[in-house]
Amino acid sequence: MHLRPAALLAPLAPLALLTALASPPLAAAELTIPPIAYYQRTLPNGLQVLSVEDHASPNVAVQVWYHVGSKDDPQGRSGFAHLFEHLMFKSTKHMHAEQFDRLTEDVGGANNASTGDDVTNYFEVVPSNHLQTLLWAEAERLSNLNVDEANFKSERAVVEEEYRQSVLANPYGKLFNAIDPHSYTVHPYKRPTIGSIEDLEAATLPDVIAFHQTFYRPDNATLIVAGDFDPKQLDAWVDQYFGWIPKPATPIPQVTAQEPKRKKNLRYTVTSETAPLPAVAITWLLPPASDTADSIPLQVAAALLSQGDSSRLYQSLVYRHQVAQQAGADADGRVGPGLFTAYAILASGHPPAEAEKLLHEEIIWLATQPIPAAELDKVKTQLLTGELKQRQTAQGLAFALGQAALIDGKPEHVNTDLAALQKVTEQDVHRVLQKYVTGARSVTIDYLPQATKGVAK
Interatomic CA distance for residues 358 and 443, integer angstroms: 16
Alpha helix segments (H runs only) across 223-327: 231-242, 292-306, 312-313
Q: Residue 374's closest CA among 310, 313, 299?
A: 310
Q: Which positions ≥6 away from 428 have C-beta within 8 Å? A: 297, 300
216-253 residue pLDDT tens: 999 999 999 999 999 999 999 999 999 999 999 999 99
Report the DSSP pairing between strands 266-272 and 443-449.
Answer: parallel
What torsion, rounded to 10 degrees, do the Cα atoms 392, 397, 398, 402 define?
A: 140
What is the structure's pLDDT at 28? 54
What is the structure's pLDDT at 185? 96
What is the structure's pLDDT at 3? 30
Identify the segments of the chain with pLDDT beneath 70.
Answer: 1-29, 451-457
Domains of the chain: 38-242 (3.30.830.10), 260-452 (3.30.830.10)
What is the structure's pLDDT at 30? 79
What is the structure's pLDDT at 2? 32
Alpha helix segments (H runs only) across 184-242: 197-202, 205-215, 231-242
